[in-house]
Amino acid sequence: MKKRITGAATAAAMLLAGVGNFAVPVTAAEEPDYASALQMSLYFYECQQAGHLPDWNRVEWRRDATTIDEVDGGWYDAGDHVKFNLPMSYSAAMLAWGLYQYPEGVEQSGELDNYVNNLEYVMDYLAACDRGDSVVYQVGNGTIDHTWWGPVELYQYGMEDAGTSYEAARETLGSSEGCSAVFGDMAAALAAGYCALDGRIDESKREDYLAHAENIFSIASASPSDTVYNDSDASGFYRSSHFYDELFYAANWLYIATGDKAYLDKATGYISHLDKELGSDELKYSWGHCWDDAMQGGMLLYAINTGDPTYIARVKKHMDYWTDSVAKLDGGLRWLTTWGCLRYAETASFIVGVACDTLFADENTDKYREFCEEQVNYALGVNPDDQSYVVGYGENAPQNPHHRTAHASWKNDLAIPDTNRHILYGALVGGPTENGSYEDDRQNYINNEVATDYNAGFTAALCRMLSIYGGKSDPAFPPVEQHDGPEFYVEALDKGISAQGATVSFKITNHSAWPARVQDDLSFRYYMDLSEILDAGLKPEDVVVRCDRDQSAMYASKGVASAEISGIQHYQGNIYYVEVTLPDGRAVLPVSEGMQQCEILLALVYPNYGTGWDAENDYSNQDILGKAGEADEAGTVKGIVTPYIPVYVDGELYYGIEPDGTSADGNAVPGKDPVSPGPTEKPTAPSTEPATQPAGTEEEIVYGDVTLDSKVKLNDVVALNLYLLNLDVLDDQQMKNADVDRDGSVAPFDALNILQYVIELIEELPVQ
């Protein structure tokens, strides 16, 4: 039987992984799994890692990026690619505090190693920002960075394509003064990390963190001011409202780390400078602990450090503010403000929880404990809409957080593709509106943004929940992602095929995302049956191969090599091919509309410009002959994606079907995963007789019903693809049902045939 894949089916197959891509291990929102939530939250921080990635990074779609940064490592802030040290250090301090306060819960969950790895990674970066008499407080220019939307692995090329300097985009900002808020938070983070990592990392490195914390704090406190910081690029993104709160916070952590009363005295001295309630002299108790306001966290630490009843009462006032005064949504969430409401509520859960477990451990704190659980559980889907606000967690989780690399657009376009290509496991989105509604919209960065500071208090709160309820994380996490189709393929159009020859447009396409990358030695082959040439007494090499357009030549001024076009090459029998190779992958990159495809226009002309060309027998024409292609909304005619124009990476078949049946689905990792071998000789004409029936009677088999639920649906395609990717097993009955072409084996063509049936491109199964 001839295994034919139509262009429409191929396109549908490319979307298949996106349909099932968000299946998650947690299914019951009513019974929160705090261990899995913590596991995912730590994974999110690995998604944010910058520079040279550590070997323990688990994110299959990430690779080294922005490696020219003056200070390597650290976290990209949110969906962008800037390292803003103010929110980063705030976040690092919160992660450290969670581990420091509740280590037993983290350890018994199985996540201690992942926690320590992630915390140590960010501490190394913050320590490296200390230059002795000055400190780096930002790497990357936010204004420039926000001009391009694409995966960070191709940041350099995205910036250059947008007409911007890569070096300018990775600007380093540092100072020796006028940055008290960010320096204070950096000192607090390093001191907290020193405390949290006691006995968990090399002691000399831990002592180094403390030395840097003390030095950065001395610079921050020597001339209290934010004038330099607030006059920099940082001001447009994370402007500091005050700085004595960060100095207060840092002094308390340094006292905990060193036991040196001089730091506690420093903290005491800062209290008179802290914010007051509007219109009074009362110390501020409203608002919440966050990247721009460390006062409440500092006040809690100060009350613990001193045991002073006055400040214990101040902490209690903050607890009552959150439980009694902040607006309460159905389900219990306290809604403080429009932008990223969940980050405030989750952090308040942690602050209130720590106060319950320390300052008020001997009192009845049921009201506060209920509040703490409501905030965490609401984020995990215990709410009127059963809406999880953590990507990848639960059955109704966000799929489209505002995040460039997870979206993996190939067009520098926030709207393309429709659904994010990667699962940003663990990322806490901004949260619901004031009326409790939520829309999973990537372009809504108020409610669907993600950021390291959003997850910070949430991660710490999960540590506390684990200390109370326990739980074990999933040793099989993270699951392997199913690709949304070939990363490299050709869109082809018949531009004029006649008796004189054939003119075909080939747009070789790079939509790579696992990871997004420059792919050298990318090629495709156009296969032809030259029987008519040979029958006319001519030689195959007499066919004229003319290149009428080579888009790769446009980049010659950048040193990019042009396409290499072979002459007529013999395949087998009367089958020949022309191969086009892009030796330099910079000729086609998923960074913009103009660069994601590279067009090669070839004319194959009958010898001596005569007639007699037969295009109908040419293998690669099966899907394109006489087809005009479809126009998109902008009126651009899209070519036809066909497996009969196979694509090769480094000379190895990557996607498509060769004339002898050898095939590859484009979901393999080039150079690692094998293709399916075809017969060693050219196959004979397809038989009109049905293939041998597998064991069992016709009545016992429900073709296409891979899941054995008596229906043929998209989940059968997903199940079969999981089997083909070695991610699942099928029993004997499932294998019989899956063999829809009845050739005695289960192969990718069976999955494609089931898909065609589901989307009504074919009328019945089994396929004849």
CA–CA distance, 300 with 93 (Å, rounded to integer):
14
CA–CA distance, 455 with 96 (Å, rounded to integer):
13
Q: Which amino acid is at 704?
A: G
532: number of Cβ within 10 Å: 17
Q: Is the pLDDT of residue 657 over 80?
A: yes
CA angle (620 as vertex; 616, 625 as ends), nearest 5: 50
* Run of H or E residues at 499: none
What's the average model confidence in pLDDT over 68-87? 98
pLDDT at 768: 67
Write the pLDDT tens digit of every residue in 544-589: 999 999 999 999 999 999 999 999 999 999 999 999 999 999 999 9
Write the pLDDT tens digit of every residue in 141-152: 999 999 999 999
Q: By three-state DSSP, how is residue 177 classified?
A: coil
CA angle (431 as vertex; 429, 435 as ends), nearest 5: 165
pLDDT over 90 for what percent of the chain? Answer: 81
pLDDT over 70 for what percent of the chain? Answer: 91
- Domains within the chain, CATH numbers bracketed: 22-469 (1.50.10.10), 488-665 (2.60.40.710), 698-758 (1.10.1330.10)
Catalytically active residues are: 80, 402, 440, 449
pLDDT at 39: 98
CA–CA distance, 562 with 582 (Å, rounded to integer):
7
Q: By three-state DSSP, how is residue 84 classified?
A: strand
CA angle (14 as vertex; 39, 47 as ends), nearest 5: 25
Query: 667 to each of 14, 489, 610, 653, how far by Cα in Å?
Result: 10, 11, 42, 12
CA–CA distance, 209 with 124 (Å, rounded to integer):
8
Write the pLDDT tens digit of every residue in 593-607: 999 999 999 999 999
Per DSSP, what are the bridge partners of residue 631? Answer: 637
Dihedral angle of Cα 610, 615, 616, 622, to the nearest 10 degrees: 180
Q: Is the pLDDT of residue 689 over 70?
A: no
Q: By three-state DSSP, how is residue 581 classified?
A: strand
DSSP code string of 439-494: ---TT-TTTSB--HHHHHHHHHHHHHHHHHH-----TTPSPPPPPSS-SEEEEEEE
pLDDT at 730: 85
In the DSSP assignment, the letter for residue 586 is G
pLDDT at 316: 98
CA–CA distance, 87 with 453 (Å, rounded to integer):
6
What's the average model confidence in pLDDT over 32-57? 98
Per DSSP, what are the bridge partners of residue 655? Answer: 647, 665
Q: Taking a C-beta distance cutoff of 8 angstroms, is the pair 418, 410 a contact?
A: no
Average model confidence (pLDDT) across the chain = 91
Write the pLDDT tens digit of every residue in 482-506: 999 999 999 999 999 999 999 999 9
In three-state form (DSSP H/G/I as H, E/B as E, the rest C), the secondary structure along 200-224 is CCCHHHHHHHHHHHHHHHHHHHHCC
Q: Which residues contact 255 (CB under 8 A, 6 or more apart)?
A: 261, 263, 264, 267, 305
Quick one: pLDDT band at residue 757, thresholds 50, 70, 90? confident
Per DSSP, what are the bridge partners of residue 457? Answer: none
Question: Helix axis angle, 112-128 relative to 203-222, nearest 10°?
Answer: 50
Q: Taking a C-beta distance cutoff of 8 angstroms, is the pair 219, 129 a contact?
A: no
pLDDT at 740: 84
Residue written as token pair 């451990």:
361
Q: By three-state DSSP, how is residue 138 classified?
A: strand
The pTM score is 0.84
Position with higher pLDDT, 372 vs 751: 372
pLDDT at 47: 98
CA angle (144 as vertex; 54, 455 as ends), nearest 5: 45
Q: How many CA atoms lie within 13 A of 151 on its CB side?
A: 29
Quick one: pLDDT band at residue 670, thresholds 50, 70, 90? low
In three-state form (DSSP H/G/I as H, E/B as E, the rest C), the secondary structure along 272-295 is HHCCECCCCCCECCCCCCECCECH
Q: Is the pLDDT of residue 664 over 90?
A: yes
Q: Which amino acid is at 45?
A: Y
pLDDT at 672: 56
Q: What ranges make up the beta strands (E) of 629-732?
A: 630-631, 637-638, 640-641, 647-649, 652-657, 663-665
pLDDT at 727: 61
Greatest mean pLDDT among 428-437, 628-637, 757-766 lies in: 428-437
Question: Helix axis angle, 85-101 relative to 112-128, nearest 10°?
Answer: 140
Q: Taking a C-beta distance cutoff of 8 angstroms, is the pair 16, 759 a contact?
A: no
How far is Cα of residue 199 from the mean position of the Cα atoms in its chain? 33
Q: By three-state DSSP, how is residue 260 classified?
A: coil
CA–CA distance, 741 with 175 (Å, rounded to integer):
69
Q: Taking a C-beta distance cutoff of 8 angstroms, is the pair 328, 335 a contact?
A: yes
Query: 326 to each of 323, 344, 365, 384, 589, how far by Cα in Å?
Result: 7, 11, 18, 19, 49
Q: Taking a C-beta distance cutoff of 8 angstroms, is the pair 653, 523 a contact?
A: no
CA–CA distance, 324 with 759 (Å, rounded to integer):
53
Phi, psi of 634 (to 5 degrees): -85, 0
Q: Taking a C-beta distance cutoff of 8 angstroms, is the pair 619, 575 a contact?
A: yes
Q: Taking a C-beta distance cutoff of 8 angstroms, is the pair 258, 211 a contact?
A: no
Per DSSP, what are the bridge partners of residue 528? Answer: 576
Burial zone of 316 (CB within 10 Å; 0-12 exposed, 13-18 middle, 19+ buried): middle
Q: How many CA atoms lie within 13 A of 753 on its CB side?
A: 25
CA–CA distance, 518 with 510 (Å, rounded to integer):
9
What's the average model confidence in pLDDT over 753-757? 83
CA angle (609 as vertex; 607, 611 as ends), nearest 5: 85
